Amino acid sequence: MQRLRTFLEQHSDNPALINVIDGLMVACKDIAHRIQLGAAAGVLGSAEQENVQGECQKKLDVISNDILKDVLAAQPAVKGMASEEEELPVAANSAGSLLVLFDPLDGSSNIDINVTVGTIFSILPAREGADAASESAYLQPGNAQLAAGYVLYGPSTILVLTLGNGVYSFTLDPRIGEFVLQREQIRIAADTKEFAINMSNQRFWLQPMQTYVGDLLQGEEGPLGKRYNMRWIASMVAEIHRIMTRGGIFMYPYDNREPNKPGKLRLMYEGNPMSFLVQQAGGKASTAFNDIMDIQPQGIHERVSVVMGSANEVETVERYHQ
């Protein structure tokens, strides 16, 4: 079984990137341990405060955020970091060459009911002379990413990673405390009969999305000519991991509840890293109109509509929106 560090050294000639990913996994092992302890460690429940998104934070949101920040700050290669949980980025090491963005605990509404959650991360190059305490340093499109991945905290703890040369999966072996390689060059099936969307928001979607989902629900008798199954876990990490395992399409489209926001999910912390992974696995990631990774960000907490997964199904959604 190949350990993560060995894999990184064989697949990257960037020592800084190797060390930062290695450090991120030290933090994720700590988070995984606390999640496994759950109520026994007093980490469940609300932190009784809101994050910059106006969302009520869970205790583990705050704990995970602090763990990641502490570990990354100790990495000489990290020039700065930005978290979904905090309003502003944080400068770390002035001589660093990398910027790290992360969602410390995706799907945290699932924590108290013991359902899958995860950590998402994106690594960007730090531009020459960039101020890592300023948003402008991080406003790079998704296609500038050097690496991206997520760690899924479920019955087993799994890292899914891309360095831009395919997608690989590692499982944390608790017997040795290391992530070991399990799947190489993961590919997402181009076709699917499985979709994931929050149907409670249907009345707020654009008409093309309402029409598409309505056609899905007609099954074999509808214009798409096949029976679909719906899944919804309310954790993007879990939804995308299912797609990485057996194909499918995940959608969190634009809706008109907040017309000035193009979507609910965050471009820099969720949309871009997951798009990088999906595209590297042969899938497609779109706003329903354009590729997510081509978007030039205007702010580190910018939102985006998301349609990603099996390439042919994503293209079908785009045709509905043309």
Binding residues for Mg(2+): 84, 103, 105-106, 270
**Token code pair at residue 59:** 């205790």
CA 262 – CA 148 distance, rounded (Å)? 23
Q: Which of 168, 180, 61, 73 is nearest to 117 (CA)?
A: 61
Can you count the helices (H) and strands (E) in the chain? 7, 17
**Token code pair at residue 227:** 């029976």
Sign of CA dihedral 132, 134, 137, 142: positive
DSSP summary character for residue 270: I
Residue 145 and residue 261 in contact, taking contact as beta carbons nearer than 8 Å:
no
**Token code pair at residue 286:** 């779109």
Residue 64 and residue 47 in contact, taking contact as beta carbons nearer than 8 Å:
no
Q: Which of 96, 169, 91, 85 is nearest to 131 (CA)?
A: 91
Residues comprising the binding site? 84, 103, 105-109, 198, 264, 270
Residue 105 amino acid letter: L
Helix residue spans in the chain (DSSP H): 4-11, 15-37, 59-73, 207-217, 236-246, 272-280, 311-321
Burial of 233 per CB tally in 10 Å (0-12, 13-18, 19+): middle
C-beta neighbour count of 302 within 10 angstroms: 18
Straight-line distance from the first to the last Cα atom of the chain, in angstroms, rounded to the nearest whole number: 47
Burial of 202 per CB tally in 10 Å (0-12, 13-18, 19+): middle
DSSP summary character for residue 114: T
Residues comprising the binding site for substrate? 106-109, 198, 264
